[in-house]
């Protein structure tokens, strides 16, 4: 057969809707298109003319799995624009809130979305028939993350307690102290999760990655730091000088490239671990050595192991903060400067998330730019699919489709998040 086409109409076990189009000619993989067909959600346009203080609650609605990431990127960028300096206590509580999001997101992805691929099950529900204890553990871990978001953020989905300058209110000591026993159990359970997934059989495939993530001199990055790649370190204010978004015909999500390079880049847990392994807390760092995860790791299928180490990291940091927390000071700071322009990047569970805002003198948003992690990974996913599937081009359509889905799910793509805008170009004669 000179040409055949393999189509995956819609991916399962991912957030959002997208498909895949493979074209094989003369036994060679000719074209790979990751087709994102969800309509653009236009959040950046919704924000124009809104008061700056409204933004955190609006952008939280971009994603029900990682609303904290959108809130944190927005408040940090707007605080930079408005000259707001947060207190050390607020900063630590924001990291604690981020711990809750990483815990619920990583636990869900590892146990119910990605693990079935390695164990040969079509769904997490089917896997639960044979691995009930593991699935129940994953659900309990996810519940811990949700409980932390509720205690600190006001509710588990789309938290409402985040505000410019801090929080609308500080949690009471007893609210957070009540979580300590579960989080003590969670640290050990998360270590068991890492040992479990490290024993999976991984495909023999390595990508030649350009890793990109935040790097902070003193801590594993959540919501502050410079943007690191293999050849340069740049400020979050200079994202547009180092990276570029562009439209492709087959996707409502923008792709991204690093300027000066003719290939895509990778954000997410493998990138974070690449630059920040030495900043893991003791339990996570010892576990990384124990399981022998190579450093750097270029096998995208082993992202599940990196997520596990970050799960341990999030529990370890959260537990320390829960034990030490004593509410003091004001819940939020006020602006000390006038309107301006501010940028910020944080590390969503799926990778680097960049926001930029221009604020008018009346405190309204003139322009907003949001660059989600999955849209940055889109081009890299296509690149990896073509590399990985090239040697399998003679396989059956069913085999190709299954292998492709397995690879895509390792990125934990949040497709709905990525369809944040669409650029329209009109050519006139």
The pLDDT tens digits of the residues spanning 301-358 come to 999 999 999 999 999 999 999 999 999 889 999 876 678 999 999 999 999 999 999 9
Q: Binning pLDDT at 50, 70 and 90, where does residue 95 land?
A: very high
pLDDT at 421: 46
pLDDT at 105: 95
The pLDDT tens digits of the residues spanning 52-80 come to 999 999 999 888 788 999 999 999 999 99
**Any idea which of 8-22, 48-62, 261-275, 360-374 has the lowest mean pLDDT?**
8-22
CATH number at residue 286: 1.10.645.10
The C-alpha atoms of residue 95 and residue 102 are separated, in whole angstroms, by 10
Indicate whether 179 belongs to any domain: yes
Neighbours of 181 (CB within 10 A): 9
| Distance set, CA 196 to CA 56, 137, 156, 413 (Å) | 37, 12, 27, 23
Enter the tokens of residue 145: 């993350």
Indicate whether 28 belongs to any domain: no
Indicate whether 231 belongs to any domain: yes
Contact 254, 245 (CB under 8 A): yes
Indicate whether 36 belongs to any domain: no
The mean pLDDT of 252-270, rounded to a whole number, is 87
The pLDDT tens digits of the residues spanning 132-162 come to 999 999 999 999 999 999 999 999 889 999 9
DSSP secondary structure string for all residues of 392-408: GTTS-HHHHHHHHHHHH
Higher pLDDT, 248 or 319: 319
Long-range own/partner contacts, residues 273-276 (CB < 8 A, 24 or more apart): 273/297, 273/306, 273/309, 273/310, 274/211, 274/213, 275/211, 275/213, 275/215, 275/228, 276/213, 276/215, 276/216, 276/220, 276/221
Domain limits at 231? 43-418
pLDDT at 423: 39
Using DSSP bridges, classify how beta strands 233-234 and 166-167 pair: parallel, antiparallel or unpaired: unpaired
Is pLDDT at 16 greater than 70 in this prediction?
no
| Mean pLDDT rounded to a whole number for the chain | 90
Q: Where does 110-247 have alpha helices with state H? A: 115-119, 124-128, 132-153, 173-177, 180-198, 239-242
Indicate whether 11 belongs to any domain: no
3-state secondary structure of 155: coil
β-partners of residue 25 are 3, 28
What percent of the chain has a predicted confidence (pLDDT) above 70?
92
Q: Binning pLDDT at 50, 70 and 90, where does residue 259 land?
A: confident
Indicate whether 131 belongs to any domain: yes
pLDDT at 11: 65
**Any idea which of 8-22, 203-217, 218-232, 313-327 has the lowest mean pLDDT?**
8-22
| Distance set, CA 30 to CA 19, 257, 266 (Å) | 17, 22, 23
Which segments within 207-338 are labelled E, that is strand? 213-215, 226-228, 233-234, 243-246, 255-258
**Any idea which of 168-177, 242-251, 318-327, 344-353 has the lowest mean pLDDT?**
242-251
pLDDT at 338: 72
pLDDT at 280: 97
pLDDT at 426: 25
pLDDT at 47: 94
3-state secondary structure of 386: helix
The mean pLDDT of 420-428, rounded to a whole number, is 35
Indicate whether 429 belongs to any domain: no
The mean pLDDT of 157-168, rounded to a whole number, is 94
| Distance set, CA 289 to CA 112, 308, 309, 341 (Å) | 26, 13, 11, 43
Q: Where does 154-298 have alpha helices with state H? A: 173-177, 180-198, 239-242, 269-276, 282-291
Is pLDDT at 24 greater than 50 in this prediction?
yes
Contact 380, 351 (CB under 8 A): no
The mean pLDDT of 69-93, rounded to a whole number, is 96
**Any idea which of 8-22, 173-187, 296-310 has the lowest mean pLDDT?**
8-22
Higher pLDDT, 4 or 167: 167
pLDDT at 418: 59
Neighbours of 21 (CB within 10 A): 15
pTM above 0.85, yes or no: yes
pLDDT at 12: 63
Number of domains the chain is built from: 1
Spatial CA neighbour of 273 closest among 209, 197, 328, 338:
209
Contact 70, 59 (CB under 8 A): yes
Indicate whether 423 belongs to any domain: no
Q: Binning pLDDT at 50, 70 and 90, where does residue 377 land?
A: very high
Enter the tokens of residue 156: 């588990």
Dihedral angle, C-alpha 111, 105, 202, 18, nearest 10 °:
100
């Amino acid at each position: 057969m000179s040409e055949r086409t393999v189509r995956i109409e819609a991916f399962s076990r991912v957030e959002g809707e997208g498909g895949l189009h493979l074209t094989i000619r003369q036994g060679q993989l000719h074209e790979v298109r990751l087709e994102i067909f969800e309509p653009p959600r236009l959040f950046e346009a919704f924000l124009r003319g809104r008061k700056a203080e409204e933004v955190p609650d609006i952008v939280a609605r971009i994603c029900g799995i990682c609303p904290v990431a959108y809130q944190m990127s927005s408040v940090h960028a707007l605080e930079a624009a408005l000259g707001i300096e947060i207190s050390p206590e607020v900063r630590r509580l924001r990291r604690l809130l981020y711990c809750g999001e990483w815990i619920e997101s990583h636990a869900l992805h590892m146990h119910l979305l990605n693990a079935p691929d390695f164990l040969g099950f079509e769904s997490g529900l089917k896997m639960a028939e044979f691995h009930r204890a593991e699935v129940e553990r994953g659900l309990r871990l996810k519940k811990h993350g949700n409980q932390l978001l509720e205690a600190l953020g006001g509710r588990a989905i789309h938290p409402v307690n985040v505000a410019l300058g801090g929080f609308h209110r500080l949690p009471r000591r007893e609210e957070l102290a009540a979580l300590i026993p579960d989080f003590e159990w969670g640290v050990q359970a998360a270590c068991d999760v890492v040992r479990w997934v490290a024993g999976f059989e991984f495909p023999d495939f390595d990508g030649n990655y350009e890793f990109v993530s935040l790097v902070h001199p003193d801590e594993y990055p959540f919501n502050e730091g410079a943007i690191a790649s293999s050849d340069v370190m740049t400020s979050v204010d200079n994202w547009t000088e180092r990276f570029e978004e562009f439209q492709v015909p087959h996707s409502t999500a923008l792709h991204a490239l690093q300027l000066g390079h003719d290939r895509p880049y990778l954000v997410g847990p493998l990138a974070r671990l690449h630059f920040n392994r030495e900043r893991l807390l003791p339990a996570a760092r010892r576990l990384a050595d124990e399981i022998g995860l190579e450093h750097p790791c270029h096998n995208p299928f082993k992202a599940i192991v990196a997520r596990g180490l970050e799960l341990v990291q999030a529990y370890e940091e959260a537990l320390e903060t829960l034990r030490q927390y004593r509410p003091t000071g004001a819940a939020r700071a006020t602006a000390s400067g006038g309107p301006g322009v501010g940028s910020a990047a944080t590390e969503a569970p799926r990778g680097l998330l960049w926001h930029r805002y221009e604020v008018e003198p009346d405190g309204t948003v003139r322009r907003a730019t949001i660059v989600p992690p999955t849209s940055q990974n889109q081009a890299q996913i296509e690149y990896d699919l073509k590399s990985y599937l090239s040697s399998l081009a003679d396989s059956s359509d069913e085999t190709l489709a299954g292998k492709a889905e397995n690879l895509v799910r390792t990125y934990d793509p949040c497709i709905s998040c990525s369809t944040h805008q669409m650029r329209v170009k009109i050519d006139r004669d």
